Chains A and B, each alone.
Chain A
Amino acid sequence: MTEPAFEPRIIGFLCNWCSYAGADKAGAAQVPYPPHVHFVRVMCTGRIDPHFVLQAFAQGADGVVILACHPGDCHYKEGNLRALQRHRLLLRLLGQLGIGEERCRFDYVSAAEGDKLAAVVGDLVKMIRAAGPLPVRPEQEIGRD
């Protein structure tokens, strides 16, 4: 009898205008990706409070992906760049918590890039499958009180 394979759980934060539309595009083109990838829609990746990412890890996610508009394409001018800055800072904190930076990915996906979306999440899942479940879970109180 073999152990059931570890299937990582992923939370993806997608902005309404580019990457969420890119996910719709992946859907319309029927480009498959792993079933435990869940997308949360925000209007802009600038809305993503680092706390949400910590919350996702605390609640059982093995990986998080933030997909923003390409630089220059943000519907709100520069929210994607704010998200990028916050992601860079967050990686430091995650490191201190023992969460490797490979588990929290940032990438750009346009409304046309359905294939890229599927490839990015597919790659993330593959890598985390190899890395195994998150070794530690951050306390749920981390972040905002």
Chain B
Amino acid sequence: MRIGVYFCRCGGIISEKIREEAVRAGLAAVAADLHVAAFDFLCSEEGKGFLAQDLREHGVERVVIGACSPREHESTFRRVLTGAGLNPFLLQMANVREQIAWVTDGEGEATAKAVRYLRAAVRRVSLHQPLLKKEIAVCPEVLVIGGGPAGLKAALTIAQAGRKAIVVEKSPIIGGLPVRYEELFPTLECGPCMLEPVLDEVLHGEAAANIELLTLAEVTGLKGFYGNFTATIRRRPRYVDGTACIGCLQCAEACPASAANPFNYGLSERKAISVPFDGALPNVPFIEPGLCLHLSGEECRACREACPLEGTIRLDEGEELLELQAGAVVVATGAGLYDSRAIPGLGHGILPGVHTAAEFERLLAANGPTGGELAIGAGEGPGTVAIVHCVGSLDPAHREYCSGICCQVAFKFNQLIRKKVPGTRIVHLFREIVVAGKEDSFLYHQARQDEDTVFCRYPEIGALGIRLEDGRMVIEIRHQGGTETIAADLVVLCPAVVPAEGSGELASLLETPLDRWGFFEEMHGRVDPVQSKVKGIYLAGSCQGPMDIRQAMGQGLAAAGAILSRLVPGRRLELPPITAVVAADRCSGCGVCQGLCPFKAMTFDPERRVAAVSEVLCQGCGTCVAACPAGAITGNHFTDAAITAEIEALLS
């Protein structure tokens, strides 16, 4: 076996410290058939050309490269090997730059260490096995979980590329939280106006045919792996045929049953059959089964009788279980707000004048419970609104982080209150104010310049107490030096942004980890911000953490881009061959490996009673290899033999 050792001088950076001739001498007796060569910059085009030619000319069968870190150029040199007709895994790099030339005092010591490293690499590479990349066919369709800004942007982008996206949305409408907001920061753009074109594009645009929208639906299971997932989806009945309905809402008028409307946070009522609010899309009513008299066993058919299109209301519709294929999944399930009832002193849920920011958005909206009319004060002159920032944020007892969007929401409210009820006194109670970004300080400056707006810093949320006194809310702020009180007609709480309800259940069925706050965790928050820890499952929007619409849209777009560039119809998925391999004849079927594998790549073959590795799921970490009590698992490219040979040579 002819082994070629290539010493890269790195333009003198390595060879100034490590003496080339001494290295040649040190390698002389290491292997019977050794070819040693040196070059100035092996990674340069010239260097790669030299390497390819030299490999061929000298009939080199295995390659050692003494150069920089394999993290820098292993893939570069593997490609050279491939080009020269060698298996790319018959290469071992010795990191003589980062681990020797740059960190070792004295030429003599550096050279001696380089010889040990190169000898170890020669020993190791002689034990390498040629490995072949496998390829599998993929399903190019994409499953998007969540129909808010991030999910829809991802689905639309995928659809516009001519690819199919399936959007699974839990609620009866799409658009997520922002469609409930009349105006959006930082420019007070109308929320529905901004989002409706996107929603319309999803429902009726040119690419709509490529989007399968499943509302009132939830993913209940996911099997398989990147390129070939099988999802099970439970779809609750809408009881209204969306393709026939014209959205006239005569059914809702006729319906005799009603209850608190959760889409308006219980601030108004909704009929058993109705839309959540005017303008919600798709414009198709749905029946809340718990409210409907007919579905509760009574004789009522008022909606069906009122409907001008026969057969559109289908009271006998049942739940559906669907199974569908997808090559990739985008999780875009959004976020929720910290439950401010967990901070009892604030009186949320008890005092009538205390609302969360989300509730207040609905009170400001023309399609909300008050038709956008804001009543502040008891009619005698303008009243006072207190806006409490940082509710549950920046506080180790609640959430340590700053959500980064609530200040903007609070200053948006400032403007909207000012517009609706001029003369209102507005008090901002805050711990910190965060308005970073090129457009984002505008609303803040407006509030600062406003003469009826005052700012008051409070020490911590526990120092606030709100009580009802003569029909007004009295806020007590306990400062270190004394207590301050502010009377207000309305208190708006801006709670921390937290993971959406059900994130934990979804994460466990997708087997994607959550971070310590319960948000979906990225592969790498900075360099791989849309990839989850599971291959083929992508993340977008505020399921990853507090985010505004711009960021959420950006993430949706990025997730779609990542999928479109990697999951290409007709292109087969290449599987890296550095995986675990079970030798069935040595496996006793003890199952230790199965419990250890963090990627569920290890399965049990019940017929043969042995473990089996899924080459697609296996990431090649080798935890199972180290654990197997029978030594039945081989870690490709990191075999016991290769590693122990390396250790031995380093110490000889």
Chain B min CB distance to A27 (Å): 3
Question: Please, which residue of chain A has its CB at the minimum distance from the CB of B113?
Answer: A35
> Which of A21, A28, A75, A76 lies at the interface centre, i.e. has the most chain B CB atoms within 10 A of its CB?
A76
1/0 contact string of B609-637 vs chain A (CB within 8 Å): 00000000001111101110001000100
A101 CB-CB contact with B under 8 Å: no
Q: Does A86 contact B (CB under 8 A)?
A: yes
From A43-51, A102-110, A124-132, the one touching the partner chain is A43-51
* Contact call B104/A86, Cβ cutoff below 8 A: no
Closest to B598 in A: A77
In the assembled complex, A118 has its CB within 8 A of some CB on chain B: yes
Known: A59-B652, A76-B623. A52 touches B638 (CB 8 A): no
B621 lies within 8 A of A27 (CB): no
- CB distance B640 to A79 under 8 Å? no
Contacts of B222 in A (CB 8 A): none
- Tell me if A97 counts as interface (CB < 8 A to partner B): no
Specify which chain B residues have a CB less than 8 angstroms from the CB of A60 in the assembled complex.
Answer: 651-652
How long is the Cα–Cα vector from A35 to B578 in the complex, in angstroms?
Answer: 31
| Complex: A128 Cα to B623 Cα, angstroms | 29
Q: How many A-B residue pairs have CB under 8 A?
A: 124
Indicate if B127 sits at the interface (CB-CB under 8 A).
no
- Among B98, B112, B120, the one with the most A-chain Cβ atoms within 10 Å of its Cβ is B98
B650 touches A144 (CB 8 A): no
Q: How far is the CB of A2 from chain B (nearest CB, A)?
A: 19
Instruction: Determine the chain A residues whose CB is within 8 A of the CB of B598 once the complex forms.
Output: 76-79
Whether B99 contacts A27 by the Cβ 8 Å rule is yes
Pairwise interchain contact B533-A52, C-beta atoms closer than 8 A:
no
Do A42 and B638 touch (CB < 8 A)? yes
Q: How many residues of B contact A (CB 8 A)?
A: 47
Given A21-B71, A52-B647, A61-B651, A35 and B104 touching (CB < 8 A)?
yes
A35, B110: Cβ atoms closer than 8 Å: yes
Q: Which of B566-582 contact A (CB under 8 A)?
A: 578
Q: Is the Cβ of B648 less than 8 Å from the Cβ of A59?
A: yes
Q: Is B25 an interface residue (CB 8 A)?
A: no
Contacts A24-B98, A47-B638; A42 near B643 (Cβ below 8 A): yes
B69 at the interface (CB under 8 A from A): yes
Counting CB contacts under 8 A, is A23 at the interface?
Answer: yes
Quote the shortest CB–CB distance from B595 to chain A (angstroms): 11
CA distance A44 to B102 in the complex (A): 25
Whether A31 contacts B103 by the Cβ 8 Å rule is yes
The answer to whether B643 and A27 touch across the interface, beta carbons within 8 angstroms, is no
Closest residue of B by beta carbon distance from A77: B598
The contact of A33 among B72, B103, B619, by CB within 8 Å, is B103
Q: In whole angstroms, how far apart are the Cα atoms of A33 and B99 in the complex? A: 9
CB <8 Å contact, A11 and B622: no
Listed from nearest, the 4 A-B pairs whose CB atoms lie closest are A27-B98, A47-B622, A46-B623, A76-B621
User: B interface vs A, CB < 8 Å?
Assistant: 69-72, 95, 97-99, 102-106, 109-110, 112-113, 116-117, 120, 513, 516, 533, 578, 596, 598-599, 619-623, 625-627, 631, 635, 638, 640, 643-644, 646-648, 650-652
In addition to A27-B98, A51-B644, A59-B652, 13 A-B residue pairs with Cβ atoms within 8 Å of each other are A11-B650, A20-B71, A32-B104, A38-B117, A46-B626, A52-B647, A55-B647, A76-B599, A78-B598, A79-B598, A79-B622, A82-B623, A118-B103
